[in-house]
Amino acid sequence: MLPFGLPKTDHLEPTIEPHLKPIQLVETLADLYRRLGTCLESEKSLICIEQYSILSSLRDPKLLRRCLRAARQHAFDVHSKVVLSALLRYERREDEHDGVSPMDCSSFILECPKATLESGCDLNSIYDHCKCYQECTNSADAQISKEDELLTLEEDSDISFCVGNEEIDCVRSKIAALSTPFKAMLCGSFIESKRSKIDFSQNGISVELMKAVDLYSRTKRVDMFSPKIVLELLSFAERFCCEEMKSACDIHLATFVNCMEDVLVLIEYGLEDRANVLVASCLQVLLRELPSSLHSPKVMRIFCSSEARERLASAGHASFLLYYFLSQVAMEEDKVSNTTVMLLERLKECATLKWQKALALHQLGCVWLERLEYKSAQCYFEAATEAGHVYSLAGIARSRYKQGHQHSAYKLMNTLISEYKAVGWMYQERSLYNTGEDKIADLNTATELDPTLSFPYKYRAVSKAEKKQTKDAISEIDRIIQFKLAPDCLELRAWFFIAIEDYGSALRDIRAMLTLEPSYKMFNVRLSGDDLIDLLNHKVQQGSQADCWLQLYDQWSSIDDIGSLAIIHQMLVNDPWKSLLRFRQSLLLLRLNCKKAAMRCLQLACNLSSSEHEKLIYEGWILFDTGHREEALAKAEKSILIQRSFEAFFLKAYTLSDSNLDPESSSYVIELLEEAIRCPSDGLRKGQVSVGTFFKYL
């Protein structure tokens, strides 16, 4: 049962986190808050992103989403809106229903793909609805008939442009109004101002294009032309400085961008002619298709090279924000890939502020460390330290250690501890370069300063297991699992249970672990969790689905959340399409503060729901968890109208209680909870509506 052997202390080490980690987190956040209150409106969005980058190490999805919403709310330019809207959608991609396209609108303005293409800042509520769901007014009456166009051409023309053997009759004043160069040519001191016919045959302009230029000069509209002609008009406008025509073509072409195929055709035109809105529309599709678009070589050619970044910059679409988003996704997908390195290099090139440079350099150091290129990693960490990021000193120490300079690494961390106010990670890092009792002393100090660091618990547990003190090892890892449920800690405890042949407990932990990360690989990515479950199933007696329900009631009543997660995972193997089980799973995960996994389970419940009233409840919980209380309340009320149920009343009560309540509102919440208890339910949820819950509102 232990084909790969138990873990060894020599093989354990914490990762260098690829985030900004200030020495004084509270003071840094306080300073950001002060700056937000005193800075210009145009600076607020970027400060929110700085806040986001610092809070990323806390891994709190709700907190990070709040930063992104604030950044998007204060964004002025189209480019920032496009990137932030896509980043918001990426962060909540697990909330979406089946069949939702990346370009579909969530009906809220901050993520609306059409609202992002409008410049300017709207400081209304971040939960406001957008207007894209409104039907467009019928524009048939506004269409100009071909006969009217021809009539206009015949009666107004006073100049002709010759293209080959054809003459295109135009209005001199209207063509002159297209741009300053045309005005100078047709109405200034040039010889063309005296001529009634002008030869345009040598300019590479087709007859169809010149006719379109004439028609646009009269109507100021491009929507009657085919996309091919509009693209030609765009190039014409760029060439002859026709800014109004260029803007009209740019905006109109952007409406044709709906999928990856459209992007790969149109973005080259946009970049060539520096069409800001068209490129923005193309970027929006690429970013909303992440992470899948990251694996397309054609897409990566748009972003990865220095030349590609310069082309994007010429169209107004190369920014630190864009490459920050792209590089984060790339690091999640494959930290050591060449794509990740190239995107981080572009991030470094786009960095202008001190914190931006520090972040880009530190992340490059982390990637090169993962690639086992220790000299390169050290160089980047040193540069990040020079940019003011003290945490990068841990990266320097680790790089030296990997190159065989253990004493140098120890001295560096020793100096760091003596010069700065002690932080948990400093002692954790120094412990790697220490030995014996000094190593354990450093780990103990790290835990005292920061109990959330998992490495000290893991090291102490494995150390005890190596001494054949496996039960003590389990007790040690229990200390962190009690307040921080992490897959790697559950995996480690499962190893210990297997070692003492407690296969039932091992199976429980592996099932709970797979609930958090369904694709988790065990034994250093050498064995899938599902395969290990198959092996352990031969060692443990399996109960029926009815037995599982009975066990779930027991575990739920005794508040054994990990045990409950394991039982639900087992039940879902036999009945994977049961939405109620996914819903219960999400509730447990929320109680354990595993928000991302909880949202994934809740969305699965919503996708699998078999009735309308049930689906409304799940949608309501998703809306509530993402901050849309009014919409969540509306879902609960609609569900109650269809069928009175415990879950619907509880959702309504819970949503109302989430804000400050006056005595009258509190009484109403209690009435809702009492009504919930009167409704039929499987009993698991009713335990949450206890006498203590009522006292909360009295």
Condensed to tens digits (0 to 9), the pLDDT of residues 385-442 reads: 999 999 999 999 999 999 999 999 999 999 999 999 889 999 999 999 999 999 999 9
Average pLDDT over residues 265-294: 93
Whether the predicted pLDDT of 513 surpasses 90: yes
Q: Which residues contact 317 (CB under 8 A, 6 or more apart)?
A: 79, 276, 279, 280, 283
Count of the separate structural domains present in the chain: 2
- Domain assignment present for residue 537? The answer is no
Contact in structure between 2 and 344 (CB atoms under 8 Å): no
Chain length of the chain: 698
CATH number assigned to the domain comprising residue 674: 1.25.40
Per-residue model confidence (pLDDT) at position 238: 93
Return the structure tokens found at 252.
């109109």
- How far CA 526 is from CA of 14, 119, 164, 370, 486, in Å, comes to 19, 50, 70, 18, 19
Residue at a domain's end among 223, 255, 287? 255
- Domain assignment present for residue 270? The answer is no
pLDDT band at 150 (very low <50, low <70, confident <90, very high): very low
Q: Number of C-alpha atoms within 13 angstroms, CB side, residue 157?
A: 18
Average pLDDT over residues 10-39: 94
Whether the predicted pLDDT of 299 surpasses 80: yes
Q: Number of C-alpha atoms within 13 angstroms, CB side, residue 288?
A: 28
Q: Which residue has the higher pLDDT, 180 or 151?
A: 180
pLDDT tens-digit readout, 121-138: 777 666 777 776 454 333
DSSP string, 118-161: S-S---S-TT-B-STTSPPPP-GGGPPPHHHHHHHHHHH--EEE
Per-residue model confidence (pLDDT) at position 30: 96
- Domain assignment present for residue 629? The answer is yes
Gap between the Cα atoms of 297 and 279, Å rounded: 18
pLDDT tens-digit readout, 581-605: 999 899 899 888 888 899 889 999 9
Q: Which residues contact 13 (CB under 8 A, 6 or more apart)?
A: 398, 432, 455
Q: Which residues contact 478 (CB under 8 A, 6 or more apart)?
A: 493
Mean pLDDT across the chain:
88
Per-residue model confidence (pLDDT) at position 535: 85
Per-residue model confidence (pLDDT) at position 532: 85
- Domain assignment present for residue 660? The answer is yes
- Domain assignment present for residue 2? The answer is no
Whether the predicted pLDDT of 577 surpasses 60: yes
Domain that holds residue 681: 609-697
Whether the predicted pLDDT of 3 surpasses 80: no
Torsion angles phi and psi, residue 281, rounded to 5: -65, -40
Per-residue model confidence (pLDDT) at position 472: 96
pLDDT tens-digit readout, 323-372: 999 999 999 999 999 999 999 999 999 999 999 999 999 999 999 999 99
Per-residue model confidence (pLDDT) at position 544: 83
pLDDT band at 490 (very low <50, low <70, confident <90, very high): very high
pLDDT band at 660 (very low <50, low <70, confident <90, very high): low
Whether the predicted pLDDT of 90 surpasses 50: yes
Per-residue model confidence (pLDDT) at position 697: 39
Specify the range with the lowest mean pLDDT, choosing from 62-66, 126-130, 417-421, 475-479: 126-130
* DSSP assignment letter at 680: -
Return the structure tokens found at 311.
């082309």
pLDDT band at 192 (very low <50, low <70, confident <90, very high): confident
Highest mean pLDDT among 123-127, 151-155, 604-608: 604-608
Residue at a domain's end among 214, 232, 255? 255
CATH number assigned to the domain comprising residue 230: 3.30.710.10
Average pLDDT over residues 232-243: 94
Per-residue model confidence (pLDDT) at position 79: 95
pLDDT band at 155 (very low <50, low <70, confident <90, very high): low
Per-residue model confidence (pLDDT) at position 450: 95
Residue at a domain's end among 255, 277, 300? 255
- Domain assignment present for residue 182? The answer is yes
Specify the range with the lowest mean pLDDT, choosing from 209-218, 243-252, 531-540, 605-614: 531-540
Whether the predicted pLDDT of 261 surpasses 50: yes
pTM: predicted TM-score of the whole model, two decimal places:
0.88
Average pLDDT over residues 644-653: 91
- Domain assignment present for residue 597? The answer is no
Average pLDDT over residues 202-229: 91
Per-residue model confidence (pLDDT) at position 687: 59
Whether the predicted pLDDT of 142 surpasses 50: no
Gap between the Cα atoms of 378 and 595, Å rounded: 35
pLDDT band at 147 (very low <50, low <70, confident <90, very high): very low
Average pLDDT over residues 138-167: 62
Per-residue model confidence (pLDDT) at position 626: 80
pLDDT tens-digit readout, 40-55: 998 999 999 999 999 9
Per-residue model confidence (pLDDT) at position 692: 40
Gap between the Cα atoms of 400 and 433, Å rounded: 11
Q: Taking each helix axis as running N to C, give the angle between helix 276-288 and helix 320-333, from 0 to 180 degrees, rounded to the nearest 10.
A: 20
Highest mean pLDDT among 34-43, 141-150, 352-361: 352-361
pLDDT band at 688 (very low <50, low <70, confident <90, very high): low
- Domain assignment present for residue 575? The answer is no
